[in-house]
Amino acid sequence: MTLNQWADNGWIKPHKTSTAEIGNLLAIVERDLKDAIEGGISTDWRFGIAYNAALKLCTVLLYAEGYKAERTLQHYRTIQALTLILGSERKNDANYLDACRAKRNIVEYDCIGGVTENDADELIEFVKQLKDEVETWLEKEHPGLF
């Protein structure tokens, strides 16, 4: 599928972004990474904050391409757009982030202690790498936004 097909299905809608909006999203990523790394909070929160940073990076990709996810399944669609934008070879990354989304929902809404230190550390490292890749992609594909 393509982003245009997703739009035709009503899963995403057109969105005009700006350098300021992209800059704000990237600043949130920086803040969240810093907070997740520094710790001093529960493992569940470290994981949730790192997940939020990953979600914001996927949002940057989608916004830069001129779209925004509809409210229904918003996080899921934003994450899955990763493969449509960066390529099908990123399918495992999208699946990983979707598993993180589900795990984050459990520790946010249902019970504590659902993630390990290793889970949080692994997600933080993933986000660091994704951040570098998204910034490189932005510079190449949408230099006016970065």
pLDDT tens figures, 58-87: 999 999 999 999 999 999 999 999 999 999
pLDDT reported for residue 39: 76
Banded model confidence at residue 12, pLDDT cuts 50, 70, 90: very high
Does 89 have pLDDT greater than 80?
yes
pLDDT in tens, 23-59: 999 999 999 999 999 978 999 999 999 999 999 999 9
* Among 132, 67, 146, 69, CA closest to 101: 69
Could you give the angle at the alpha carbon of 114 between the alpha carbons of 41 and 58, nearest 5°? 75
Which residue reads 């795990």 in tokens? 103
Average pLDDT of 95-119?
Answer: 94
User: What's the pLDDT score for residue 59?
Assistant: 98
128-146 mean pLDDT: 96
Domain chopping of the chain, boundaries: 18-145
What pLDDT is attached to residue 146? 82
Top-level class of domain 18-145: mainly alpha
